[in-house]
Amino acid sequence: MKGLLRKVIGRLTGSAEWRLLFGTIWAADRRLAGAWWLLTLVRAALPPALAVATGWLIGLIADHDSAARGLITVGALFALMQTLGPVQSAIAANLGDRTAALLQDRLLVAATSPAGIAHLEDPELAADFSLARDFDLGIASPRLRDSLPFIGSGLAAFGAGIASAVVLCGFAWWAGILLLFGWLSPHLLLRESYVWKDWRSSEIKDHQRHAEYAYRMAVDAPAAKEIRLFGLADWITDRFNDRRRRLLAITLEALRLRQRSIMLTLLVLIISNGVVFIALAWQATQGDLELSRLVAFAGTAIGVSSLATMEFDWWLSDGARPVPVVHDLLPTMRRVGALRTAATAGGSDQAQSPRSLPSREIRLQNVSFGYRGGPPILDGLDLTIPAGGSLAIVGQNGAGKTTLVKLLARLYDPTGGRITVDGIDLRELEPDVWRRQVSAAFQDFVRYQLTVAENVAPTGAPKDLINAALSAAGASGLADQQTVLSKQYAGGTDLSGGQWQRIALARALAKVAHGAKLIILDEPTAQLDVRGEAEVFSSVLRATRGLTTILVSHRFSTVRQADRICVLEGGRAVELGSHDELMRAGGRYRTMFDLQASRFTQTP
């Protein structure tokens, strides 16, 4: 019995509804949550109080007493009932906004706090994440600013039903209890038609995610060109509608009113109410119940019916949905995105020292890596990168070059082998300590809708430093430092692909000026014109002289400028040497180089 009770309490306190009402809204704003609950309780007490006061007023009139006191009391209670509702709704909407902001804030923490990025590339978590993001948009369920006012009114009505049943016990204890259970029965018997249990199933998440993706493609600017050119407007609208229709169909089927449940509910209500009202009428006709008490008890007997506000179940269960999704995402994302840090790896003090790294070398020893237990992308890779020089990594599409970059930036840890920097295992370095030493221009760099200056140094830097970085990247004349790089802002401008790439390079160089010692350039000149490519890469090499530079590129005119070149194939370094050495060796590098060079020398 104790075990069962503990289980019931555990399920209740672990439910989304409980966590919303007794946890999240309090964490969002204690004062507003307190006021909201207080008003809920007062509103719950008003209907039975009005029934009793009405009985009292009628008693006064029947006894030919002055009805003034009774009228004032009834009027005051009625006025309170009319005014407290809107007041509570206003508070609830405000509280709903704050609660949504708190959940969004937690979502941001869940996304940004893990040191790695595996949690953002995990398909399972992506589905939950898109479900969680949707809530505040009101796509998957009502926004909290809409649902909390209804939840407040529903709770007040529910409380009023219980209070009325308690007052009715003054007539007969069994009458209060009978009507209490009678009017609670719809919550049990019709629950399946109001509360959707399977909203977190993988099928729902899948439809939801596809609908959201189609919606974003249709309304966001990046896909606009292709949608028009390839005539995808109908295709994308159909995809969105199809997924939404299927979601709707599943919801309607899940929440269909069942005939048997309705009949059963009606039967319970007719019997319980019939018995109580017949008993009231019987006692009144026998003269055992004076008029004032008859009116009060009849009023409260009717009042118990407010227990059956079924919309309340719907609003509460739907409104509370974001709470467990967001809260469950926090620990899961933290776990999936975590990297072993010095504390767990038992790292030395030396590992945390802010001295410049690397000063001797970066060494990859038998490094293996696969995404989420999938096939190995890197497989027993051995590579030594001497500090202070440049290394280019070449290889076919999908060879694992960007994956190697991710491991070097410690966005993932190897699944086998180790990477050391000056003899220290990268896993023993705090990710932040290592990342302060690393700068990068990624293949899929970010185009911040911010000013030029903020694009180069998002957290701020002296104007001269920004100018120097822009100049080294050949981006000086693109726009004024304070111009916003987006057409969606007044006075803003947009850039071409190559111009954006120069801005991303400038960002990487600005971090170098801030003290980074390793610079990783993943396809840094892929979008530059031929003259720009030669100029920019020479200029970047000048700006990073003495630092360790790792370059990933398919352009051999850029690659050949590196001190050493590594050919990646089958997850390993199959060739390593300078351009001249590799050309002499006549292996993979030479084949690739010659193939690219021949395209420029061949006459048609």
**What is the binding site for ligand ATP (CB under 6 A)?**
121, 371, 377, 395, 397-403
- Least distance to ligand ATP from the beta carbon of 482, Å? 34
Cα dihedral 506, 509, 511, 513 in deg (nearest 10): -120
The string of DSSP codes covering 19-63 is HIIIIIHHHH-HHHHHHHHHHHHHHHHHHHHHHHHHHHHHHHHHT
- Least distance to ligand ATP from the beta carbon of 218, Å? 25
- In degrees, to the nearest 5, what angle opens at C-alpha 536 toward C-alphas 551 and 538? 70
Name which of 185 and 403 has its Cβ closer to ligand ATP.
Answer: 403
Name which of 452 and 565 has its Cβ closer to ligand ATP.
Answer: 565
- Least distance to ligand ATP from the beta carbon of 348, Å? 31
| Burial (0-12, 13-18, 19+ Cβ within 10 Å), 321 | buried
- Least distance to ligand ATP from the beta carbon of 435, Å? 19
Cα dihedral 341, 344, 350, 353 in deg (nearest 10): 40
Name which of 403 and 439 has its Cβ closer to ligand ATP.
Answer: 403
Name which of 377 and 566 has its Cβ closer to ligand ATP.
Answer: 377
Name which of 239 and 406 has its Cβ closer to ligand ATP.
Answer: 406
Name which of 322 and 571 has its Cβ closer to ligand ATP.
Answer: 571
The verdict on whether omega for the bond into residue 322 sits within 30 degrees of 0, i.e. cis, is: no
- Least distance to ligand ATP from the beta carbon of 403, Å? 3
Name which of 313 and 413 has its Cβ closer to ligand ATP.
Answer: 413
Specify whether the CB–CB gap between 443 and 501 falls below 8 A.
Answer: no
The single residue listed with the structure tokens 């009042």 is: 303
Other beta carbons within 10 angstroms of residue 573's beta carbon come to 19
Strand ranges (DSSP E) for 442-517? none
Give the C-alpha separation, 603 to 408, whole Å.
42
Name which of 402 and 596 has its Cβ closer to ligand ATP.
Answer: 402
- Least distance to ligand ATP from the beta carbon of 520, Å? 12
Instruction: With H, G, I as helix, E, B as strand and everything else as coil, classify residue 393.
Output: strand
Of 359, 435, 370, 364, the closest CA to residue 400 belongs to 370
CA dihedral (203, 204, 209, 211) positive or negative: positive
Name which of 366 and 402 has its Cβ closer to ligand ATP.
Answer: 402
The single residue listed with the structure tokens 């269909």 is: 256
Integer-rounded Cα Rg, in Å, for the chain is 35
Task: Mention every residue, 6+ apart, whose C-beta is less than 8 A from residue 241.
Answer: none
Give the C-alpha separation, 455 to 481, whole Å.
9
Cα dihedral 302, 303, 305, 310 in deg (nearest 10): 150
Give the C-alpha separation, 328 to 110, whole Å.
10
Name which of 301 and 562 has its Cβ closer to ligand ATP.
Answer: 562
Name which of 121 and 430 has its Cβ closer to ligand ATP.
Answer: 121
- Least distance to ligand ATP from the beta carbon of 550, Å? 13
Name which of 327 and 554 has its Cβ closer to ligand ATP.
Answer: 554
Name which of 175 and 381 has its Cβ closer to ligand ATP.
Answer: 381
- Least distance to ligand ATP from the beta carbon of 372, Å? 7
- Least distance to ligand ATP from the beta carbon of 450, Å? 26
- Least distance to ligand ATP from the beta carbon of 512, Å? 23
Name which of 259 and 397 has its Cβ closer to ligand ATP.
Answer: 397
- In degrees, to the nearest 5, what angle opens at C-alpha 42 toward C-alphas 38 and 47? 155
- Least distance to ligand ATP from the beta carbon of 398, Å? 4
Of 90, 56, 48, the closest CA to residue 72 belongs to 56
The single residue listed with the structure tokens 């690219």 is: 596
- Least distance to ligand ATP from the beta carbon of 127, Å? 15
Task: Mention every residue, 6+ apart, whose C-beta is less than 8 A from residue 601.
Answer: none
- Least distance to ligand ATP from the beta carbon of 121, Å? 4
- Least distance to ligand ATP from the beta carbon of 375, Å? 8
| C-alpha 228 chain-centroid distance | 30
Task: Mention every residue, 6+ apart, whose C-beta is less than 8 A from residue 426.
Answer: 410, 413, 418, 419, 420, 434
Give the C-alpha separation, 560 to 572, whole Å.
20
Give the C-alpha separation, 238 to 415, whole Å.
42
Question: Which structure tokens are listed for 172?
Answer: 């007969």
Residues in the chain: 604
- Least distance to ligand ATP from the beta carbon of 458, Å? 24
Name which of 117 and 227 has its Cβ closer to ligand ATP.
Answer: 117
DSSP-assigned beta bridge partners for residue 438: 518
